[in-house]
Structure 1
Amino acid sequence: MTKTTLRGAAVALASAALAVLPSVPAHADVIRAQEWGLQAIHAQQAWRTTKGAGVTVAVLDTGVDANHPDLAGQVLPEKDLIGFGAGPGDGAWARHGTGMASVIAGRGHGQGRQDGVLGVAPEAKILPVRVILEDNDPQRGRARTEKAGALADGIRWAADHGADVISMSLGDDSESAHPEPREDAAIQYALGKGIPVVASAGNGGEKGDHVSFPAAYPGVIAATAVDYRRERADFSTRHWYATVSAPGDEIAMAGNGSAYVSGWGTSPAAAFVSGAIALIRSAHPDLSPAQIRRLLTATAQDTPEGGRDDDYGAGLIDPAAALKAAPALKPAPQKPSPADYAHRYFGPGPTTDDPADTPVDWIPWTAGALGLALVAAAVVIWRTRT
């Protein structure tokens, strides 16, 4: 999520947070020099093990421009669940989604691929699933009402069509944000199929830190954002569901056509996390979503005091450290548990159960009743003998 809001009932994007970079040749000393995030997460060290080959990342977004030089050959055929709005060649088409795809799997271009954007997992494939429109699309209002279930449908479609990771750089962090049962069920469906699900934590850090969905659904790996100083970005939402943090400020990305943009928000942070998971899945495809989540949190950098906090989650992702630790894990069961939560709740955190809704523990009651029955039987036998 980069800073504005739109979603089948309100999914947020980032058009306002994307600025076109100057029209200069995309040589390594121009674009690559701005990719501070790759160094921050130790991507180069991770590439000694894998660059994401064999993994498909579903990008649920505004669409992806498969013809961008840095994504050529990396993008699979798109699934459009909107069906209207801007198209290729329009300024209000696929800008946000293309940027996120490049953060995940950009591979540069030119001789030796030294020019353009390099993603976290440059050998991974991108599966575009169009579930929202750009903020400046004239049909945006129509999409809100007519395609309110597109996100839930997109999650299920991606889970059934080869996605190894589902990346959602979007969300609703408005004051009216609330859980949608269809979205929650779709996420649990994907997790149950062994597919990690990533979402932006929200851009409400300066606007009240409202809960953002889908980030707050159980089992989702929610990404908060840090700047180049590795400090929490002011816009990044603080909340109990924060899992890990990733670069999210002044991020160089591909735009539609052959353009480049600079963006900020928890949108690129979620893309960084999705790329890191693509690296892990490439080297260790049998790990479950819950294991990958624990691996990311256990190997994170700059871990807050106490192990986590609402600003950073468990800290800044480190895919190189995660890949080093992964061999110690045992393969996951064939049917992983949908969500890695003991309780399902939304909002500021767990609340005390209503006594009327709390299940009664039958063991002590049964034991007590049995004991009374034995005492009564003993009394009857004693009286009979007497």
Structure 2
Amino acid sequence: MRRTIAIASLVAAAMTVTPVPGLLQSPLAAQDAGDDDDDDDDDGGFEDEDDLDDPDDDYGDDDYGEDDHGDDDYGDGGDEDGGEEGDEAGGDDFEDDGFGDDDFEDDEPGDDDFGEDEPGDGDPADDDAAEDDFEDDETGDDDLDDEVGDDDFEDDGAEDDGAEDDAGEDGSADDDLDDAMSQDDDDDAEESDGGDDDDGGDDREDDEGESDEGDDDEREDDYRDEDDDDGDDDGDDYEADEYEGGDDYTPPSDQWEYASIETAAERSELDERDRIDTDREGFRYRRAEFVALDLTREDLDLLRAGGFDILESEELDSLDGTLHLLRGPPVGSDEDSLDAVEAVADPDVFGFNHLFDGSSVRTRRKRDGSIPRRLACGCEIGLIDTGVATKLSHFGHVSVVQRAFNGRKAKVRPGLHGTAVAHLMAGTERHPARPTTIYVADIFSGPRSTSGSSFALIKALDWLASRGVPVINVSLAGPSNPAVASAIERLTKRGHVVVAAAGNDGPAAPPVFPGAYRGVVGVTAVDGANRIYRYANRGAYIDFAARGVAVTAIDARGSVRDATGTSFAAPLVAARVAGELRRPDSARSRQVIRALEARARDLGPPGRDPIYGVGLVEGSD
């Protein structure tokens, strides 16, 4: 009776409520954004002036140790009146710039304030010239949002965006943004289908579900076969030269570059077009769409009677259940629809079709172009991220199998982040005893409107489980989603290990998921001196620390880069676990984690703490 009343009430709703589009970028959109702080990366490997006397500085008032350079380490924008005694020339703890007066925020005389300087003051870690502020100066040559910049670091495939490329005013607001998670040119855009309808209607004709290739057509990417034009949808039929230079803008070697960034205004405009709203906590989801696990036939009939459409239902091969994608009725709000589903289904297995943000990172070309030697893990390991540029020679000593999950017509498209993370897993040299296979589940390539969706994420988890991958690295950060949580719980109960980044929203930020789920290994980032990354999240869910500041990685064009963020620390831990776990095994996985804890180097206060977890993973620095 409760179900019937709930459904009848929903259908009888008399007023249509127009959902409010997302006006601001999710607080987790900058998953790996941040600064080249806390380390020696800007001084060519030498210690910065304010690093020398402050090994315990955790950049915040809650530091475990004495801060010799004032208490403005995190979030307060600089010392007042020049800082405490001992804080040199302006009280800045921003690191790495070699100047004492660039407080990162808004000190008036600072040469490199990053956010508030006058046009041409320069970026704190790059150079002191006028052309590279990455901000809003009106005439900078290479600013992210400048009006006349030569290139806005977007994906338009041209060297000069021109004056008309200001917040999309050229009429194609979006050709720089639809491929935000990949580094390829827009002339490949036809490979993705849907997601761009102008009428705001549903764009989901046949573009959701598995990629065309299917399980039987999957194969390892043959990165040595330059003539592979078989036309199958296995994600390896891209032209190698698209990712190794071409006509794309190449920043100077010492200039930090933002990847995959949408401004708040751009995101709001595109989200309205793509029918994307935000929930009460500010997380993005696909308007009127819900994901659920294991609804019965009776449940589905009741939902249809209440005005719901069943967009897709898919059997999960390894997670033992059925995944459903639902569209709510056209009347009432999405919250009303969520309540209606709750009256029918188990609230622990359904939720909004949230869109998890990929990692928006800051990277820069490494000055000397060198890559530290590292053995491949000699393991099977999974990665949920963007696609990987497997034709690069850097992957010649490992096997890579990848598949796209954001729509049936989606093809794997190599991105900076996925390529960098996979390279950290692959190392530089073949393992002497065992082969290494990396399984890549790309949930971003395809329509922007469903990029990073919970529906795609659950399918990706099921695929990796079906391949018997013992360890899965998830390079996402977002809200707690009941359906995703249930899928991960089923994985971990079967002996799989899920490793995820701690997040990069700062010490005071709330936990992010999936890293904060019970049973998931949460990894934070430290610099070369084992100091915490200043924008790393903190909390009881932090299990381990690993090097994640100015780590050496490659991008989708094969360029060697420095990269910073907790998602660059997580794969080092995942590879270490995978090297000890040959197949999913609950008892063995617990043994491996306990052994890793026993060997971890304790950082911060004695024992486990919310900053470093149990400590630094051996060999990850």
TM-score norm. by structure 2 comes to 0.40
Matched, 1:230 2:538: no
Question: Match for 2:458 among 152, 171, 185?
Answer: 152
User: Could you say which residue in structure 2 is the equivalent of 1:140?
Assistant: 448
Runs of 4 or more off by more than 4 Å in structure 1?
A: 4-8, 84-88, 282-287
User: Could you say which residue in structure 1 is the equivalent of 2:571?
Assistant: 271
Equivalent residues of 2:386, 2:442 under 8 A apart: yes
**Alpha-carbon distance in 1 for matches of 2:551, 2:573:** 14
**Cα deviations by residue, 1:80-100 (Å, 9 ceiling, x for unpaired):** 101467865xxxx42111100
**Cα deviations by residue, 1:260-293 (Å, 9 ceiling, x for unpaired):** 2221101011111111112222599885332222
Question: Match for 2:357 among 12, 15, 18?
Answer: 12
User: Could you say which residue in structure 2 is the equivalent of 1:383?
Assistant: none
User: Could you say which residue in structure 1 is the equivalent of 2:419?
Assistant: 98
Match of 1:130, as an amino acid?
D
Equivalent residues of 1:67, 1:257 under 8 A apart: no
Equivalent residues of 1:13, 1:267 under 8 A apart: no
**Alpha-carbon distance in 2 for matches of 1:21, 1:85:** 32
**Cα deviations by residue, 1:144-201 (Å, 9 ceiling, x for unpaired):** 5xx33111221121011121210112211xxxx3x21221122122212211110001
User: Could you say which residue in structure 2 is the equivalent of 1:31?
Assistant: 371
Equivalent residues of 1:191, 1:289 under 8 A apart: no
User: Could you say which residue in structure 2 is the equivalent of 1:295?
Assistant: 595
Question: Match for 1:189 among 480, 485, 490?
Answer: 490
User: Could you say which residue in structure 1 is the equivalent of 2:271?
Assistant: none
User: Could you say which residue in structure 2 is the equivalent of 1:221?
Assistant: 521
State the structure with bigger RCO (CA 8 A, min sep 6), 1 or 2: 1
Equivalent residues of 1:153, 1:186 under 8 A apart: no
- Give the C-alpha shift of residue 317 in structure 1: 0.5
- Give the C-alpha shift of residue 303 in structure 1: 4.2
Normalized per residue, the structure richer in helix is: 1
Match of 1:14, as an amino acid?
S
CA change 1:166–1:239 in 2 (3 A) is same
**Alpha-carbon distance in 2 for matches of 1:52, 1:164:** 13
**Alpha-carbon distance in 1 for matches of 2:512, 2:587:** 27
Q: CA RMSD in A?
A: 3.1
Percentage of pairs with the same residue:
26
Matched, 1:256 2:601: no
TM-score norm. by structure 1 comes to 0.63
Match of 2:371, as an amino acid?
I
Question: Match for 1:82 among 403, 406, 427?
Answer: 406
Matched, 1:168 2:474: yes
Counterpart of 1:291 in 2: which secondary structure? Answer: helix
Match of 1:170, as an amino acid?
L
Size of the alignment, in residue pairs? 273
**Cα deviations by residue, 1:305-364 (Å, 9 ceiling, x for unpaired):** 3411110000000169xxxxxxxxxxxxxxxxxxxxxxxxxxxxxxxxxxxxxxxxxxxx
Gaps of 5+ in 1: 39-46, 114-118, 321-386
**Alpha-carbon distance in 2 for matches of 1:295, 1:238:** 23
Counterpart of 1:191 in 2: which secondary structure? Answer: helix
User: Could you say which residue in structure 2 is the equivalent of 1:2?
Assistant: 32
Match of 1:238, as an amino acid?
R
CA change 1:303–1:107 in 2 (3 A) is same
Equivalent residues of 1:11, 1:132 under 8 A apart: no
**Alpha-carbon distance in 2 for matches of 1:61, 1:106:** 18
Counterpart of 2:614 in 1: which secondary structure? Answer: coil
- Give the C-alpha shift of residue 9 in structure 1: 2.2
**Alpha-carbon distance in 2 for matches of 1:102, 1:122:** 17
